[in-house]
Amino acid sequence: MSAQPFSRRLAEAVKPLLRRPPHLQVAALCTREGPDGVEVMLITSRGTGRWILPKGWPIPRYSMAEAAALEAWEEAGVRGAVEDTPLGGYEAQKDTDGGLPVPCRVEVYRLHVDSLADDFPEAAMRNRRWFAPREAMTLVREPGLRKILAGV
């Protein structure tokens, strides 16, 4: 028998059962052809100002890709053709209004940008900018997102 007390062994055995699965979010990897090749758009987060992809929660009656495209419009003023199959996903922490981070799995859908608007729902809350994928990799904090950007 283990030298650990029964209560500790029980806690270790039960912990995986109590762990909540990550919440699912969708993100749009907005791309265009620039003078030096493919460019990707990053936006700033509302809270910390760090560089991220437009992302949000799935929306009832919308496909995951359509929800990602809607987030791209609301957060970045982007319109375009979104691919139905995700490029991949990554793990992230969503900061909540209550201050507790929520673990999330973010599925990323490529959106080929056709147009940019100056007036969109979150224009006053965010900055947007185009980057070469290699530069964008150095600006985001999630390793899984860096890996997705490396494949663009």
Cα–Cα distances (Å) from 121 to 44, 45, 68, 147, in that order, read 14, 14, 15, 30
Q: What is the pLDDT of residue 21?
A: 59
Average pLDDT value for residue range 60-71: 97
* Among 27, 80, 32, residue whose Cα is nearest residue 54: 27
Spans of all domains in the chain: 21-150
Q: Please indicate whether residue 93 or residue 113 has the higher confidence score (pLDDT).
A: 113
Higher pLDDT, 98 or 101: 101
Top-level class of domain 21-150? alpha beta
Radius of gyration for the chain, computed over Cα atoms and rounded to the nearest angstrom: 18
